[in-house]
Amino acid sequence: MPLSGEAIRTMNYVDDISVTLRRILAVLPSLTDEEKQRVAEHIKQAEPSYDSVLTALAAKK
């Protein structure tokens, strides 16, 4: 079954997220330990989170 345009767009959003995460990983070595901790806390508090999206995808309808 071919993918809908909406599914393809959604997969492109995932690709955008991956690019952003690569950029974050590239910057991490230049941050201080305190800055890394603050970034980590910010990521943990972000909503929706990557995990919440995966949970929604796995949910039975």
The yes-or-no verdict on residue 60 having pLDDT over 80 is: no
Position 1 confidence tier, pLDDT thresholds 50, 70, 90: confident
Question: Per residue in 2-50, pLDDT tens?
Answer: 999 999 999 999 999 999 999 999 999 999 999 999 999 999 999 999 9
Across 19-45, b (16+ Cβ under 10 Å) vs e yields: eeeeeeeeeeeeeeeeeeeeeeeeeee
d(CA 43, CA 27): 15
